[in-house]
Chain A
Amino acid sequence: MLAEIGLFALAFAFASSLYAIGASVFGEWRHSEKIVLTGRNAALLTFMLLLLAIIALQIAILSEDYQIAYVWSVSSPQMPTFFRWTALWGSQAGSLLFWSFLMAAFSATALILNWKSHRRLMPYATAYMMAVVAFFVGITLFYENPFERWWIVDGNEVVRTALIPANAVAPDANRLAETAKGLNPLLRHFGMAIHPPMLYLGFVGFIIPFAFAMSALASGDLSTNWIKASRRWALVAWLFLSLGLILGGRWAYDVLGWGGYWGWDPVENAAFLPWLIGTAYLHSVMIQEKRGMLKTWNMFLVIGTFSAVIFATFATRSGLVDSVHSFARSEIGFPMFFFWFTLTVISVGLILWRRNQGRLRDDHHFKGWLSREMLFVINNVVFLALFVVIFWGSFGAPIVSELFLDTDITIGTDYFMRVTPPLFAVLFVLMGIAPLSAWGTTSLSRMGQALLIPMTLTGVTVAFLYSTGMNTPVALLGYAIVSLAGWVAIVETLRAMMARVRTHGENPIQALFSLIRRNPRRYGGYLTHLGVTIIGIGIIGSTLFQVETQQTLAQGESLYISGYEMRFDNLRARQISSDGRIMDIADVTVLKDGREIATLHPRRDFFPEGDGMNSMTIAGAHSTIENDFYVLLVDWETIDQQSVTFKVYINPLINLVWWGGLVLILGTLFSIYPKETVSVRVRQKLIKQSGNTLALEGASS
């Protein structure tokens, strides 16, 4: 029953999304409000139907309906309830349905919130949003259907189909439960409950700015309306994408067992690429709002961001990153590639068409090299340069090498560590100086004056670090560049705070909140910059000063690393967990200066029923703000269980990466917060005055 409900909901969602596209375009063309409204309602119906499909699949997973092939492949009777919820996106078919649902949810919310305020843009925006939703619902329905069921036909042949074949009988439920595969072991982690939805929200969220930009191009309303309509949506999407990337790093650190959080793997990089162009867009769009410049460029950036989202989805779902030819074999590879290519070509074509009409001409032009708009343009160039080098290393070079030279190559960490740090350094420098420049023009002396205090504080920071024994030139230079950006954010906020304290007589805390309320974008932006600075400090520390050792210890023996002692106490081999996993757990004690500071339990989990990658290395970690003592159980002697091999990492300042991430999220939340155009005091005064007026009017009448 659940399979039928889900299947019909999915099929009707596909049909209603197609209707929404047709009605929106036709209604706008014929200037028929009635038809346009039916298009909007069809888009809302698409969301409701996808919600129904999601509920049907989730109930099927929770109620262990193993006849549904997807449920059979991602769950098993031993699996805890928590992972039954996350199994919804645990494999291709379910995650595509979830992707489509989130995209429809974003679209429906934008339709409801923006319909009246941006009426002229809405018909084409609806059509574009629904075109993308229809594509994803289509490939879910026709290629990766999560509602396919197992059937036995002709007595003994087992098939999986969405529709019931002739003379088919359902397989024995107990046999299905016995053979159910369970969730991929790597996904049985709390991080996986949050990381994929956050990343998906970030990905699909960019559909709104994209749809508004395309609508502006199609409708000819090329004022800043599309930016006003989509700015907050872009920030929301960016927020989720940032959160998804940070959580992904944390998951890799906890589960993948290699002591790091970013391996420059193509899958990670694919998610990072839209973030880079999206960040460039968030900066660049300010220039169009303030100065009416870079209209064509912003169109390219917003379309580039969504194109990168679709490419990342194609690259990770089609198997492109595993083998550059696998997309031709993968069933969804070709349709996804075709969709990505068509979407990009149509979008670029529309931009060029409007540009040739002279409709994207800038209102002002650049006046000085130190103007804020010029520094933002340089910032954009660096973001795009990062995009190019990361894209090339992850996809370009391996594809070219395999297609034209018939050679498999791996572009690994050493390439990325060689090409990206100089570009990130330039970005940090720009992050430090751009907020101090003015729109239009800024003189060198004014910039110098504004930089004086932050530069002095940076000098003090570097001198302090040097005095503590850090004398690696690269690290000192890195910390100087990164901390300048942070000091600028702090000094500028303090300067504004003190001015408010002087002029309004508020205490500093009140003044800070007033500033954020009055200009959430600026002060949210400073907080975001501060978050990025903290992340930068964490990355430099954990990359340049990581120490590791691998040693085999007998019970009671110790190893020594960076002032720590780690004693191997005990091994508990072959422990069977309630969910069926077999665990080997080591008990170790960490000591510093002879004092016990932590007891850790690194372990290896083995999933007997899992296919492919069926083991997981869970680290034991003792975290402080200074560093992480991170230990992995590498191997143990099967005969006596007395000697165990451990790999220990000391990861300096690594926790700043996570703490910086939180600050970045908080800053972005402030930036999204609606700007208060009239202060509370003035508003109360106006309300009071209007109340008096009404009272007077009432008395006179």
Chain B
Amino acid sequence: MIKTVTTMLLLLILILPLAAQEDDDVVTDDEVNAVARQLYCPVCENIPLDACGTAACEDWRYEIRLQLEAGMTEEQIIDDFVTRFGDRVVGTPKDPLLRVISVVTPWVMIALGVFWGWRMFQRRMTTNAVEDVQQVSSDEHSHYQDLLEQDIAGG
């Protein structure tokens, strides 16, 4: 009897922490959504996985839950989805070339546009400066002409 009770107590001592451990490992909906929010539905266009209402997306969210329960990190899960479904499942491509095309290109375009605009502006300022010099009133023009003529006559 004592042996049986002792065995049961020992089992309890072993099982209880395990059960508690299992409780700690329960993945919450919020943890699943935190990962799903970073992914896009592989079949619908432009719908984040955490907000997509299709049955397929429910299955993928369940898959994320299983992956989290299996101990995978957010990054590993996202990489796994990208490997299986391609770069369309993330908001910015993971592939280095696609990433450069997506993120860097618009800034290059803006920089080129600003540079071109700046050159145009500078050129116009120079032209305007020349025009300012050339724009002499008729009175001033006659005065300068008189001075020149006097100079020539004097010479």
Contacts and interface: CB of A to CB of B under 8 A. Distances in A.
Interface of A: 256-259, 263, 265-266, 321-323, 365-366, 381, 384-385, 388-389, 392-393, 396-397, 400-401, 405, 407-415, 418-419, 548-552, 615, 617, 645, 647
Interface stretch (B16-24, B69-77, B97-105): B97-105
A129 to B, nearest CB: 31
Interface stretch (B5-13, B40-48, B146-154): B40-48
B102 A409 contact: yes
Contacts of A552: 29
Given A257-B51, A410-B46, A397 B91 contact: no
B98 A419 contact: no
Contacts of A397: 101-102, 105
B40 to A, nearest CB: 5
A550 B30 contact: yes
Interface string B82-118: 0000111111110101100111011101100110010
Nearest to A550: B29
A409 B106 CA distance: 16
B135 to A, nearest CB: 12
Q: Which of A266, A384, A413 has the most CB of B within 10 A?
A: A413
A408 B86 contact: yes
B48 A412 contact: yes
A34 B109 CA distance: 50
A411 B51 contact: no
Given A412-B40, A412-B46, 9 more contacts: A257-B51, A266-B46, A321-B46, A393-B106, A405-B101, A409-B88, A410-B45, A415-B103, A645-B29
Contact of B90 (A265, A322, A410, A550): A410
B125 interface: yes
Q: Which of B46, B48, B86, B87 has the most CB of A within 10 A?
A: B46
Going nearest first, the 3 A-B pairs with the smallest beta carbon separation are A412-B91, A550-B29, A258-B51
A617 B53 contact: yes
A387 to B, nearest CB: 10
B91 A408 contact: no
6 contacts: A392-B105, A392-B106, A412-B48, A415-B102, A419-B107, A550-B29
Contact of B89 (A322, A365, A405, A410): A410
Contacts of B38: 414
B67 interface: no
Contacts of B124: 365
A615 B53 contact: yes
A322 B102 contact: no
Given A266-B46, A617-B53, A409 B109 contact: no
Contacts of B98: 401, 405, 407, 409
Nearest to B32: A550
B89 A392 contact: no
A414 B92 CA distance: 7
Given A265-B46, A388-B110, A407-B86, A365 B128 contact: yes
A395 to B, nearest CB: 12
B144 interface: no
Given A408-B87, A412-B40, A412-B46, A365 B51 contact: no
A392 B113 CA distance: 15
A122 B28 CA distance: 66
Contact of A413 (B87, B91, B103, B109): B91
Q: Which of A265, A323, A366, A401 has the most CB of B within 10 A?
A: A401
Given A323-B45, A393-B102, A551-B29, A410 B110 contact: no
A277 to B, nearest CB: 14
A321 B103 CA distance: 19
B90 A412 contact: yes
Contact of B87 (A323, A407, A647): A407
Nearest to B52: A258
A265 B45 CA distance: 9
B106 A549 contact: no
B106 A419 contact: yes
Nearest to A408: B88
Contacts of A409: 87-88, 93, 98, 102
A365 B128 CA distance: 7
Nearest to A400: B101
A549 B31 CA distance: 9
A388 B105 CA distance: 10
B91 A415 contact: yes
A630 to B, nearest CB: 13
Given A366-B121, A393-B102, A411 B91 contact: yes
Contacts of B28: 550-551
Contacts of A366: 121, 125
Contacts of A384: 113
A410 B50 CA distance: 15
A411 B92 contact: yes
Contacts of B86: 407-408
Given A257-B51, A396-B105, A409-B87, A322 B45 contact: yes
Contacts of A615: 53
B62 to A, nearest CB: 12
Q: Which of B88, B93, B102 has the most CB of A within 10 A?
A: B102
Given A257-B53, A409-B88, A401 B121 contact: no
B114 A381 contact: yes
